[in-house]
């Protein structure tokens, strides 16, 4: 019996040895996308494919024909990205299964064997190249034959949750806002009439991530040298600079074509976009042809979508009265004639009513210490940088401190918010007199969406010291010396700065609105004039001749031909204030305003016996009607959500050819469009729509009603979508 027992054991041992010797064969792979994506904050992009963030492990499960034996079975993993992957360029990684991770390098570790399955963790370094990867494994036993098996594909993104990543942002509240929030606001209008426009970023719509990498693969950098371009995609400074160039189409097959000419018949008016998704999908679907049309807020909002999708914390920033300084001398020169008309033809410099750009959060290893954090990126094509129409990243801290020598494009960004404004009286073929030298009129109310709120946050103090403070003027002089360089010795601008300023004016002039301005009605203003003491006229009355002009003001600072003129004669003496009524009839502006619905009323007052001139200005914004949006109390995935939209035409004219567009990631797949005809003056239209929410969580519905008369009547409604209840 004992001998029989020994023989039986020997037979079992032989069978076990044969099983071990049998080649290890891969039967199937589970990339565990649902679990990995949730752990990597990418579940909003979908759960069907693996999307992970660098510097953070992710798990996968391999199923074999027999149990895996560490020490006799050898697994080597290969991850590759780019057209020609190379380890030297960081686009190919080869790494073997080990029991523990080896620092910030590609690793396969922390494995467990469960019968014929192997659960293993893969780690990507926090400075790995981002992009779509293929993953395969090579199986071998000792020095014997090896077999390569494809395991699948995954997408690797920046990881702002990881302290080793250059885009690390150490605040979950900020990450929820600047990475995970897929809607927000763009601030437009005028410093005194700031309007919050809702915008659907939609960075987690399933195809957007693929379009983001399409954008990188269409850049001139990629087309010129694909391997080198891919190898630099580990660097957020490089990636955001490429995206800044690719959002506009001035050099390449970029996403958007700019148009500031008021003729949008060949495309869509920039005012009629509700969000980024439709723009990006159109660009991709039509063979990467630029989408018509964009202006600054559209460029910046689309860039925000792309950068948040790639994993870089990003926000949209608006600056009111933003300078476009063409000659780099830190003054914006504006010219008026004697009739108070702005001479646009003479303007190389511009002051935009508002300008919109991006801030991206990152470490700047290419700069001295102290300039990490928010960086300005401006995708609007204004001037070239290293030969391409892009701008940034420029450190916000460097802008505030006047360190304009630091890359990239810091002088231009500095001037946008800090330039001085000089307004000249132009006559007899040349600039004759300085009407105004204003050191604090540029870069007003710099704004972004408040974290966790629909309110506006004023971030002007992060760009500059308080206007007029010793620190602000000191920084300005430092920046001007660096920017003007050898020219500064003979600069009339610095002479102007060094002077004691203009003499006191003999009168104080102000323009006020007599009533709220409404589109379709006459505009009522009052000129307030008060006599002031000055050196030339220490006493007695003075006579003024005031020429008034009204011009439609375009978004980028240009004006159209005057639509109204008036001349007023005033006698001013001490102790009296004159209030002179002015009427700008509706018929004068009804067909002459741009889509911005902004009018500048200018007055130049000439003192009769001295010939000196004074300037008075008033910008008027005509508000569109307001939308009312109500939704049923409970929003639930897959269940009808009833939306009531109400619009009353408060204008004195009909709104013709009205169309409505609804958009909202997680609420609507794409857009819902509806023609609603003509809305007569004083009439109200009520529209009812049923939506079927797709995703849980906080969502925003954006509504746009456009007409021939007014392109943008916008509204929004925030709602929270609950998970579907079991029926």
Binding residues for Ca(2+): 418, 420, 467, 472
d(CA 624, CA 619): 16
In sequence order, what E strands does 182-281 have?
Answer: 183-190, 193-200, 256-258
d(CA 101, CA 99): 7
Query: Which residues does the annotation place in the binding site?
Result: 418, 420, 467, 472
Q: Cβ distance 323 to 417 under 8 Å?
A: yes
d(CA 301, CA 270): 12
Alpha-carbon dihedral sign for residues 708, 191, 408, 419: positive
Q: Cβ distance 564 to 556 under 8 Å?
A: no
d(CA 330, CA 488): 11
d(CA 53, CA 179): 13
Residue 265, by phi and psi: left (phi above 0), alpha (psi -120 to 50) or beta? alpha
Q: At which residue do the structure tokens 């918010």 appear?
A: 417
- Angle at CA of residue 447, ends 444 and 450, nearest 5°: 155
Q: Cβ distance 376 to 244 under 8 Å?
A: no
Q: Cβ distance 467 to 439 under 8 Å?
A: yes
Q: Name the catalytic one among 355, 437, 547, 555.
A: 355
* Exposed e or buried b per residue across 159-188, where buried means at least 16 C-beta atoms within 10 angstroms of its C-beta: bbbbeebbbbbeeeebbebbbebbbbbbbb
Alpha-carbon dihedral sign for residues 76, 79, 83, 84: negative
What share of residues in the chain are helix, strand, coil (percent, to 5)? 20, 40, 40
d(CA 64, CA 470): 73
d(CA 212, CA 51): 14
Phi, psi for residue 354 in degrees, rounded to 5: -150, 155
Q: Cβ distance 225 to 258 under 8 Å?
A: no
Q: Cβ distance 299 to 226 under 8 Å?
A: no
Q: Name the catalytic one among 229, 378, 409, 558.
A: 378
d(CA 264, CA 29): 52
- Integer Rg of the chain from CA: 32
Sheet holding 671-679, edge to edge: 635-636, 713-722, 697-706, 655-663, 671-679
Q: Is 114 exposed, middle or buried (0-12, 13-18, 19+ CB in 10 A)?
A: exposed
d(CA 472, CA 420): 12
d(CA 5, CA 51): 55
296 annotated active-site: yes
Alpha-carbon dihedral sign for residues 408, 189, 292, 350: negative
Sheet holding 598-607, edge to edge: 564-572, 542-552, 598-607, 613-621
Q: Cβ distance 247 to 239 under 8 Å?
A: no
Q: Give the DSSP letter string of 98-117.
A: -SS--SSS-EEEEEEEETTE
378 annotated active-site: yes
d(CA 304, CA 664): 16
40 annotated active-site: no
- Helix (H), strand (E), coil (C) string for 430-464: EEEEEEEEECCCCCEEEEEECCCCCCEEECHHHHC
Q: Name the catalytic one among 165, 166, 182, 296.
A: 296
Torsion of CA 710, 712, 713, 715, to 10 degrees: 180
Active site residues per annotation: 296, 355, 378
């Amino acid at each position: 019996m004992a001998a029989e027992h020994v023989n039986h054991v020997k037979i079992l041992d032989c069978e076990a040895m044969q099983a071990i010797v049998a080649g290890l064969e891969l039967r199937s792979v589970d990339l565990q996308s649902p679990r990995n994506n949730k752990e990597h904050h990418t579940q909003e992009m979908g759960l069907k494919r693996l999307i992970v963030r660098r510097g953070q492990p992710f798990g996968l499960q391999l199923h074999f024909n027999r149990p895996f034996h560490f020490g006799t079975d050898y697994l080597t993993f290969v991850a590759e990205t780019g057209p020609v992957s190379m380890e030297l360029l960081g686009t190919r990684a080869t790494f073997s299964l080990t029991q523990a991770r080896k620092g910030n390098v590609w690793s396969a570790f922390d494995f467990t064997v469960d019968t014929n399955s192997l659960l293993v963790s893969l780690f990507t370094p926090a400075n790995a190249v981002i992009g779509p990867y293929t993953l395969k494994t090579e199986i071998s036993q000792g020095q014997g034959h090896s077999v390569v098996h494809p395991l699948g594909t995954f997408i690797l993104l920046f990881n702002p949750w990881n302290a080793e990543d250059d885009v690390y942002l150490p605040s979950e509240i900020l990450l929820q806002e600047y990475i995970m929030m897929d809607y927000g606001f763009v601030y437009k209008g005028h410093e005194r009439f700031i309007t919050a426009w809702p915008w659907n970023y939609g960075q987690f719509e399933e195809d957007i991530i693929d379009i983001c990498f399409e954008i990188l693969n269409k850049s001139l950098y990629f087309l010129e040298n694909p391997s080198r371009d891919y190898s630099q995609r580990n660097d957020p400074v490089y990636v955001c600079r490429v995206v800044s160039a690719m959002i506009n189409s001035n050099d390449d097959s970029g996403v958007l074509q700019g148009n500031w000419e008021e003729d949008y018949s060949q495309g869509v008016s920039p005012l009629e976009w509700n969000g980024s998704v439709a723009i990006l999908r159109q660009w991709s679907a039509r063979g990467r042809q630029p989408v018509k049309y964009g202006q600054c807020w559209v460029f910046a909002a689309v860039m925000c979508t792309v950068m948040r999708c790639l994993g870089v914390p990003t926000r949209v920033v608006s600056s009111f009265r933003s300078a476009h300084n063409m000659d780099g001398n830190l003054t914006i020169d504006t010219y008026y004639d004697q009739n108070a008309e702005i001479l646009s033809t003479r303007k190389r410099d511009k002051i935009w009513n508002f300008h919109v750009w991006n801030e991206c959060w990152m470490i700047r290893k290419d700069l001295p210490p102290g300039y990490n954090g928010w960086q300005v990126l401006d995708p609007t094509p204004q001037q070239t940088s290293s030969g391409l129409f892009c701008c940034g990243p420029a450190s916000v801290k460097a802008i505030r401190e006047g360190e304009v020598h630091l890359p990239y494009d810091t002088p231009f960004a500095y001037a946008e918010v800090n330039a001085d404004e000089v307004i000249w009286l132009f006559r007899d073929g040349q600039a004759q007199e300085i009407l105004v030298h204003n050191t604090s009129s540029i870069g007003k109310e710099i704004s972004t969406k408040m974290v966790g709120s629909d309110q506006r946050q004023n971030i002007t103090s992060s760009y500059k010291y308080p206007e007029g403070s010793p620190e602000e003027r000191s920084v300005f002089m430092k920046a001007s010396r660096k920017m003007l360089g050898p020219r500064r010795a003979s600069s009339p601008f610095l002479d102007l700065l060094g002077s004691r300023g203009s003499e006191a004016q003999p009168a104080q002039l102000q323009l006020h609105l007599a009533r709220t301005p409404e589109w379709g009605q006459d505009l009522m203003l009052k000129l307030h004039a008060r006599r002031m003491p000055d050196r030339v006229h220490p006493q007695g009355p003075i006579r003024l001749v005031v020429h008034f002009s009204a011009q439609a003001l375009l978004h980028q600072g240009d004006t159209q031909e005057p639509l109204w003129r008036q001349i007023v004669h005033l006698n001013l003496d001490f102790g009296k204030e004159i209030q002179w009524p002015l009427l700008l009839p509706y018929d004068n502006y009804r067909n002459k305003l741009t889509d911005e619905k902004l009018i500048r009323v200018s007055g130049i007052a000439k003192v009769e016996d001295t010939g000196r001139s004074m300037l008075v200005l008033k910008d008027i914004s005509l508000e569109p009607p307001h939308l009312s949006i109500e939704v049923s109390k409970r929003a639930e995935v897959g269940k009808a959500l009833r939306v009531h939209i109400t619009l009353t035409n408060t204008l004195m004219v009909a709104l013709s050819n009205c169309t409505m567009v609804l958009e909202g990631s997680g609420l609507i797949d794409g857009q819902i469009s509806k023609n609603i005809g003509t809305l007569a003056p004083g009439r109200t239209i009520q529209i009812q729509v049923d939506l079927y929410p797709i995703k849980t969580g906080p969502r925003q519905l954006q509504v746009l009603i456009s007409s021939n008369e007014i392109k943008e009547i916008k509204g929004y409604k925030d709602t929270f979508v609950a998970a579907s209840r079991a029926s």
